[in-house]
Structure 1
Amino acid sequence: MSGDVAMMSDDDRPLRAKASSSGHNGAPVTNGTHDGAGESSSLSEDDDMPLSQSTRTKSEPMTPDKRFLKRKKIAIEYSSSDDETPLASPAKSSTSAVRSTAVPMPGAIQATTLPAKAVNGNGRNAKAKALTDSDSEDDFTPLVKSRRTTNGKGKQPPKKKVKKEVVSDEEGESEIDEPAPKKKAPAKRGRKSKVKEEDMDVDESDDDKPLKKPATKKAPAKRVKKEASPSETPKAKKGKVKKEEDSGESPKKGKKKKEEEEEEAVYRWWEQQQAEADDSIKWQTLEHNGVYFPPPYEPLPSTVKMRYKGKPVDLPPAAEEVAGFYAALLETDHAKDSVFNSNFFKDFLGVLAKNPPRDKTKITEFEDCDFRPMFSHFEDEKAKKKALSNAEKKELKAAKDKLEAPFTHCFLDGRKEKVGNFRVEPPGLFRGRGEHPKKGTLKLRVRPEDITINIGKTATIPKPNVPGKWKAVKHDQTVTWLANWTENVNDAHKYVFLAAGSSLKGQSDMTKFEKARELKKHVDRIRQDYRADLKSKLMENRQRATAMYFIDRLALRAGNEKQDDEADTVGCCSLRFEHITLEPPNFLIFDFLGKDSIRYYNRVTVEEQVFKNIKIFKEGKQDGDELFDRVDTTRLNKHLASYMKGLTAKVFRTYNASITFQEQLDNGTPAKGTVQEKLNAYNHANRMVAILCNHQRAVPKTHEQSMGKMKDKLRGFKYERMKLRHALFAIDSKFKKKKKYADDESDMDDDAVIEHEEQWKEREIEKAEKKFAKENEKLVEDGKEAQPDSVLKDKRKEIEAEFKRLAKERGTNKAALKREKPTEKIEESIDKLDEKIKTFKLQMEDREAGKEVALGTSKINYLDPRITAAWCKLHGVPVEKIFSKTLLTKFPWAMEVDGEWKF
């Protein structure tokens, strides 16, 4: 749950930037100086677990009983290879379908209000082809092998699955997808790959990392059991477990089986047809348990106190909590901000007036306050938490999950659907975005008396998990929120909605992109009209036409008037005299703070009449005066709606982003390039959209460090190639005369080799130490005796000896591999390394090019996901390379299109 931003659906989030000559339809896209913050994109190196689902054939009729289909089970194998086979063949137009988070229930009614014709008719339902991915054993065989434990029978013990955690902080809810380990193919036929429910649940996240390629296999479908409603009592649930035990099935096995069955059904809402649907009715029945309130404040130990003029202050809990909010941020940039400090201290004094220090200390000056003792205590607590064993961390997480479990899902028209932001924001200090005038202001604790919940008429009214009663209870079937309240800082309305992968969210997304796609039919007429109005004798029409030109050609936001206590951000209609500079003969220089206080700086070429109009609009005005003083967003959107129902300036922005993206992909994708070359073309097209929409970010603080690590990895590839060449020379000196192997690798002089081997040695020792500690921790947990230190000492000696051998090989142009290989295999490994080096260099170029441009917002809010799905199928690129698990869950309906689909 976002802490500082109203939870509105499809919120515009800023991204990042790079130079380009033109946008769509000749729209100028030029470079400038940008600052701000946004989210980061990443290379396809994440190990998110992919999703899969069954689909019906095109010829099979759609009956109510078949609306809910069974999901195929998957066996997943991860690989570092970049030459991956796509999930779907463009020729066959097969699809890689993705599950929705909806779980069907017996007796569920048709909930969708979106007719099937709203979706493009090019979608196909076909069975996804299984994908396999394997690398040769010769690829990157480590020169130093770590000792591996066995179960005494020569077999490796089974690897643990890595679960995904959803983490919450003051600023909101984020998803952490930990890399999943490789899974070997099952030894016995019929053995099934089991995926836990918590591994598959996802939340929408700004961290948009692509998935690696999965290997899928078919599994028999299972019947879905009836779910327990949110109001089901613990006693009833215990009775179910007892019944399972009486039937001879263990509770643990029964629970796992139930979790699998819950996961298997897919509600394909986009295939439903409801000819006479009432668009105003969003649902028929709705059950949920309300929202989860954070626990009450726990006072600090009596030895931890803030100081005033060097003396400890005995604060009551209410004042101590607020002081702690600031203390926790002591080493951040916020504590160095004068506006932040001023707003905090003003509110802190207000709290002290109601809750004065118990020792009668009079606090009047911010400079005399010392929050360092509290900060040190918080840091110590963080260190203690970090030092907990894995078992203790799991226990704490299990306890937290147990408390939150009743609030994570709701029942919508009988289907179990995931709730997005079910946690109520904890109190804290408002941080805001950019130069917000209220940053540092105290966010008060939200209580049940502040919250209105929305629920079905026949549903049981839930009780809050903290003392208190709801402000109000509504039964409004025309809205999709479950709860709302008004926060105290900006008087903004906060809402609790369903998760990104829910049916209601999916319908909203599809409608939005279909609306933008429909604009194609009207855009020529709209442009013709506003071009004519650029010379209108009525000043209102001339200003409106000029604003529409900027919105259409530069993808500017419409802009709304701001209050004095809001950040001074502007859009097209709220541009002021000082925001545009004229540069003859036909250049305009835009310089203003856009959404989230991201600077928009752009020098563009405009039509002669537009230049003349801006000159006229500026006459007789000065700094602070509105440029478009006869146009506002309400009147502009009303005019746009006369062309097409529901058309607004925001629809133009979505249309321009998607059409520009489609054109960039069509013109820039190499037909016969490698997967990585095509991915670079995709990211370039996305960057052009980000520049057009001013989706920018400051260069990440970790960028240089990240690039340094990539350079070290590239040097590792070159080192490995060098050793393989030298191994060839040791076998047969004739290879020295071959041009392919004669030249040394670039950047691999003697100093570079020594540095690489030293760093490698340190990593191997560190890896051995961590493995030794982890194995001992597990042995102790199992009640066994820990390994003696001599085991680690022997391992270190083994590593030292190996690197001494490597040191002796320096300068000899000969090398011995850990395992002998024929020359053919060595040559094959060198060829693979050459391809890896080429691919990795492309990845480095892509990351460097995108350091100031954030790509995630475009993918989430502005680019029709069907463009990506069709492009992947047409060019043989696995969609998991581009869409994270979060986005695959958010856009399952988009995966239905074939490779020929166009926006």
Structure 2
Amino acid sequence: MSTAFGLLPKQDRTMSNKTNPKFTGINGHANGLNGKAYSPLSEDEEMPLSQTLPPSRRLKRKKTNYAESSSEDDTPLASSPAKQSASAAIAMPGAAAATTVQSSLASKSKRHAAKKEESDDEQVFKKSEKKKPARKKAKKEDQSSEDDKPLATPKPPARKRKLKEESDNDSSGEDEPLVTKPSARKAPAKKVKTEEGTESPAPKANGKAEENGKGKGRRKKKTEEEEEEVYRWWDVDPNADDSVKWSTLEHNGVIFPPPYEPLPARVKMKYDGKEVTLPLESEEVAGFYAALIESDHAKDATFNKNFFNDWKVILKKHPPRESVKITSFEKCDFRPMFDYFESEKARKKSLSSAEKKELKKAKDDMEAKYTSCLLDGRKEKVGNFRVEPPGLFRGRGEHPKKGTLKHRVRPEDITLNIGKEAPIPIPNMPGKWKAIQHDNTVTWLATWTENINQSHKYVFLAAGSSLKGQSDMMKFEKARELKSHVDRIRANYNGDLRSKLMAERQRATAMYFIDKLALRAGNEKGEDEADTVGCCSLRCEHVTLELPNFIIFDFLGKDSIRYYNRVQVEAQIFKNVRIFKDNKEDDDSLFDRVTTTSLNKHLNSEMKGLTAKVFRTYNASATFQRLLDENDLKNATLQEKLNAYNKANRLVAILCNHQRSVPKTHDQSMEKMRQKYRGLKYDRMKLRHGLFGIDSNYKRMDQYKDDESDIDDDWIVEYEDQLKAKEIEKAEKKFVKENEKLAEDNIKPQGESVLQERIKHMEEDFKRLAKERGKTVASVKGNKTPEKVMESIDKLTDRIKSFKLQMVDRDEGKEVALGTSKINYLDPRITASWCKIHDVPIEKLFSKTLQVKFPWAMDVDTEWKF
């Protein structure tokens, strides 16, 4: 990480070019929800695992000899400190002072009149995709009032985040900004009719015009479905009562996981070497652990202890049938169950394509009615409609409750929120809903309380829904609004750094850390939660002073990710921290006069809706915009542009401490990329040799002189053997699929001789390649002209250069999680505008999921700036 951090320009380094943060690994688990609302695009899904051992507590601090000063700033400002409980927070290293963006740099948005044509480089790299479906012609009806209806139904009132329970991305209340109406740009709605009584020409779908709305049923149905999903809420006038989120709401509730399927009678766990027959209730819980015995969880003492304690409670109610008393965890052998689960995985993996498709279709058909709802008459997708199955809580990092049993959620645990006129859905398992309510001021569809941390779980609309989109837009608009206030706010807290009141001086110092280091504010926590802290809950042990003016931060942030940063600070900040630490023990709170609530209240007084999270979002987006603008990409290739973008994204992720441990498969994937890289060079070598075979004079040309120096004869032999095996395997799979298709159509399948004939031709080709080894001439398939061969060589050369850049980009990003900042902290309009400026296809940077999540950001023009 230190190397990547060093890539920042001087003005972007935290506070000193001597900063050298180091991260070491600790065991962590990525699958736990950690008490957060379950959401497919929540921030937690992108958060990295733990990376270091927690700093030891109650260490005796060494007395530091500080330079004496006659300034009044060194005078103690208040009496003995009060202790304060810890709180959870994400650790985020420093935003530079240079992240301030002058408001004059932002220009008003203008709408594009037409899209630019893609460059040749784009065409090479762009994935094949379908064109936008045609909008159906409006039908003439003499006596119909439908012609007067607008294309988009009136937008439900703008969303207002006023309840903590409504947030499915963050569980900490301090991160919920107060809502102000966004200064959203209005885009003209798409028109169907040009004038009353006349129709506009229908656009083409996939290059083919549809006449009078006719076409294949499948195409027509798909087009209608896609059009239903497009609701341009950002084009609708938002002036309405923003306390009401919807008028009508109808949905089918949630889908519960299937009941437990007992293991075959032959599969039993062992206790003290003897097989044990367990009742279904006890067997199910034992299976939860058995499935994990080869994972890091089973090596964790806390995980094992919590599991065994909870399992013993189940065993007491449902004891083994052999009257065996299970009292020792060490005598339990779950291996037979694990082996059975692994064999089932292998069996499912070996199913034919047709069988897998059939299973998927059955699953999709069962879930179809739960995937969407009707919101104000519009069909909108539901996000997390599946209730989590029972299992063992995995938590994040050093969570004290990891391994605890998650109980099965039943209808009696769930409260539904629907419209008054909507029918009450019937659960897909026996039982009745806990309660039915009709609250149109909230956006959740269902809620329940989980048994691990007693936290509330919610079902919300999908990330691309109108309500979610409005929330995202308002979040980034709030961060943009901070641009016009940030200079004043910084001047105010810099003035308070010398306040005679301890509370004000502590608050100003905390604001300095939140602004410059992008720390989270922190929140109140219980004793049974992981020992993670934020700015307001820092303890004296987490902060070490080093002369002349360095502060070393070392603590566990959110998800038990270690935050280590040695940063040079202003002299007054150094003095303040020294005063705050005087006469305190290691486990005393550093900011004993500041709480998260009081800090956010003060921030809100500086700017309505301002919170610590808004600072983090502002610093991340402003820095990202500046880093992108610093790059000169005038004559860059597409891959060079992508690398520049990813580098800026990576630096912001480091800034925000979005670290991750190196993936276990990284070395393996890099080796595959190196093999592919050599394979591309091999292909280029064969083309060069083929060109020389046509005319040896081409050997004298400079662009064809250089050979592929990292490809030796031994590698070529091994590569061609591997290539031959892959080609034969590919041919065999293709042959099987062809016969499966013929069988579906009741046609006699092909005989084995067809496959053998294909393999014979392949072997002849590879014999020819073997004869050409070590020679500088080779045969060319298809009787290509020299011009065609040279064109292929040039394209392959460009592809090799591009792929090498991809390898560098992959390796440099191995310790950084880019997704978290993309989803939560970087205004998507920055990316959309940058892509239009540099003719980069948006799908190269935004997955389909992100494009669906941020449709409102795709219309910005090239002049838009954060």
What TM-score range do you get, normalising by the shorter chain?
0.7 to 0.9
Structure 1 equivalent of residue 335 of structure 2: 372
Q: Report the secondary structure of 2:402's partner residue.
A: coil
2:822 equivalent among 844, 859, 868:
859
- Cα distance between partner residues in 2 of 1:523 and 1:669: 28
2:539 equivalent among 547, 567, 576:
576
Q: Report the secondary structure of 1:111's partner residue.
A: coil
What letter corresponds to residue 311 of structure 1 in structure 2?
K
Contact 1:481 1:497 in 2 (8 A): yes
- Cα distance between partner residues in 2 of 1:40 and 1:891: 17
Specify whether residues 220 and 117 from structure 1 end up closer, same or farther in structure 2 by C-alpha distance, changes over 3 A only.
farther
- Aligned pairs for 1:73-112 (under 5 A) are 82=124, 108-112=153-157
1:32 equivalent among 21, 24, 27:
21
Structure 2 equivalent of residue 507 of structure 1: 470
- Cα distance between partner residues in 2 of 1:98 and 1:586: 64
Structure 2 equivalent of residue 443 of structure 1: 406
Specify whether residues 751 and 727 from structure 1 end up closer, same or farther in structure 2 by C-alpha distance, changes over 3 A only.
same
Shift of 1:516: 0.6
Contact 2:682 2:711 in 1 (8 A): yes
- Aligned pairs for 1:876-895 (under 5 A) are 876-895=839-858
Specify whether residues 40 and 861 from structure 1 end up closer, same or farther in structure 2 by C-alpha distance, changes over 3 A only.
closer
Specify whether residues 655 and 344 from structure 1 end up closer, same or farther in structure 2 by C-alpha distance, changes over 3 A only.
same
Specify whether residues 106 and 683 from structure 1 end up closer, same or farther in structure 2 by C-alpha distance, changes over 3 A only.
closer
Contact 1:112 1:269 in 2 (8 A): no
Structure 2 equivalent of residue 269 of structure 1: 233
- Cα distance between partner residues in 1 of 2:668 and 2:296: 20
Structure 2 equivalent of residue 687 of structure 1: 650
Does residue 336 (structure 1) correspond to residue 299 (structure 2)? The answer is yes
What letter corresponds to residue 33 of structure 1 in structure 2?
K
What letter corresponds to residue 624 of structure 1 in structure 2?
D
Structure 2 equivalent of residue 426 of structure 1: 389
Specify whether residues 486 and 83 from structure 1 end up closer, same or farther in structure 2 by C-alpha distance, changes over 3 A only.
closer
What letter corresponds to residue 452 of structure 1 in structure 2?
T
Contact 1:307 1:369 in 2 (8 A): yes
- Aligned pairs for 1:408-423 (under 5 A) are 408-423=371-386
User: Structure 1 stretch 869-878 or stretch 494-503: which is displaced more?
Assistant: 869-878
Shift of 1:221: 10
1:821 equivalent among 778, 784, 799:
784
1:470 equivalent among 416, 421, 433:
433
Does residue 482 (structure 1) correspond to residue 445 (structure 2)? The answer is yes
Specify whether residues 106 and 684 from structure 1 end up closer, same or farther in structure 2 by C-alpha distance, changes over 3 A only.
closer
Shift of 1:40: 7.7
Shift of 1:679: 1.0
Specify whether residues 256 and 351 from structure 1 end up closer, same or farther in structure 2 by C-alpha distance, changes over 3 A only.
farther
Shift of 1:97: 12
Q: Report the secondary structure of 1:307's partner residue.
A: strand
Structure 2 equivalent of residue 663 of structure 1: 626
Does residue 559 (structure 1) correspond to residue 522 (structure 2)? The answer is yes
What letter corresponds to residue 118 of structure 1 in structure 2?
P
Specify whether residues 689 and 640 from structure 1 end up closer, same or farther in structure 2 by C-alpha distance, changes over 3 A only.
same
- Aligned pairs for 1:504-903 (under 5 A) are 504-903=467-866
- Cα distance between partner residues in 1 of 2:188 and 2:548: 52
Deviations 1:538-590 (A, max 9, x none): 11111111111111011111112322211111111111112122222222221
- Cα distance between partner residues in 2 of 1:851 and 1:481: 36
Q: Report the secondary structure of 1:260's partner residue.
A: helix
- Aligned pairs for 1:201-350 (under 5 A) are 217=207, 257-265=220-228, 266-275=230-239, 277-350=240-313
Contact 1:18 1:852 in 2 (8 A): no
Contact 1:17 1:695 in 2 (8 A): no
TM-score by length of 1: 0.77
2:158 equivalent among 94, 101, 113:
113
- Cα distance between partner residues in 1 of 2:759 and 2:453: 59
Q: Report the secondary structure of 2:796's partner residue.
A: helix
Does residue 382 (structure 1) correspond to residue 345 (structure 2)? The answer is yes
Q: Report the secondary structure of 1:590's partner residue.
A: strand
- Cα distance between partner residues in 1 of 2:497 and 2:294: 53
Shift of 1:364: 0.4
- Cα distance between partner residues in 1 of 2:376 and 2:485: 37
Counting matched residue pairs gives 736
Does residue 354 (structure 1) correspond to residue 317 (structure 2)? The answer is yes
Shift of 1:256: 6.0
What letter corresponds to residue 267 of structure 1 in structure 2?
Y
- Cα distance between partner residues in 2 of 1:405 and 1:874: 40
Specify whether residues 394 and 680 from structure 1 end up closer, same or farther in structure 2 by C-alpha distance, changes over 3 A only.
same
Structure 2 equivalent of residue 237 of structure 1: none
Specify whether residues 97 and 123 from structure 1 end up closer, same or farther in structure 2 by C-alpha distance, changes over 3 A only.
farther
Q: Report the secondary structure of 1:603's partner residue.
A: strand
What letter corresponds to residue 269 of structure 1 in structure 2?
W
Contact 2:154 2:236 in 1 (8 A): no
Contact 2:159 2:243 in 1 (8 A): no
Q: Report the secondary structure of 1:679's partner residue.
A: helix
Cα RMSD of the aligned pairs, angstroms, is 3.3
Contact 2:159 2:471 in 1 (8 A): no
TM-score by length of 2: 0.80
- Cα distance between partner residues in 2 of 1:833 and 1:866: 34
Specify whether residues 681 and 255 from structure 1 end up closer, same or farther in structure 2 by C-alpha distance, changes over 3 A only.
closer
Contact 1:669 1:681 in 2 (8 A): no
Q: Report the secondary structure of 2:829's partner residue.
A: helix
What letter corresponds to residue 809 of structure 1 in structure 2?
E
Contact 1:23 1:660 in 2 (8 A): no
- Cα distance between partner residues in 2 of 1:743 and 1:641: 65
Specify whether residues 23 and 284 from structure 1 end up closer, same or farther in structure 2 by C-alpha distance, changes over 3 A only.
farther
- Cα distance between partner residues in 2 of 1:85 and 1:368: 55
- Cα distance between partner residues in 1 of 2:395 and 2:587: 24
Contact 2:554 2:562 in 1 (8 A): yes
- Cα distance between partner residues in 2 of 1:411 and 1:710: 46
User: Structure 1 stretch 253-262 or stretch 376-385: which is displaced more?
Assistant: 253-262
Deviations 1:240-277 (A, max 9, x none): xxxxxxxxx99xx65763343122242110011143x1
Contact 1:534 1:546 in 2 (8 A): yes
Contact 2:250 2:374 in 1 (8 A): yes
Structure 2 equivalent of residue 150 of structure 1: none
Deviations 1:270-322 (A, max 9, x none): 011143x1111100110111111111112222222111112221211111110
- Cα distance between partner residues in 1 of 2:572 and 2:738: 75
What letter corresponds to residue 486 of structure 2 in structure 1?
V
What letter corresponds to residue 270 of structure 1 in structure 2?
W
- Cα distance between partner residues in 2 of 1:579 and 1:273: 49
- Structure 1 residues without counterparts, runs of 5 or longer: 1-13, 42-56, 61-71, 88-94, 128-189, 194-215, 224-248
User: Structure 1 stretch 19-28 or stretch 755-764: which is displaced more?
Assistant: 19-28
Structure 1 equivalent of residue 88 of structure 2: none
Shift of 1:192: 7.7
Contact 2:540 2:586 in 1 (8 A): yes
Shift of 1:432: 0.9
Shift of 1:118: 2.6
Shift of 1:107: 10
Contact 2:395 2:401 in 1 (8 A): yes
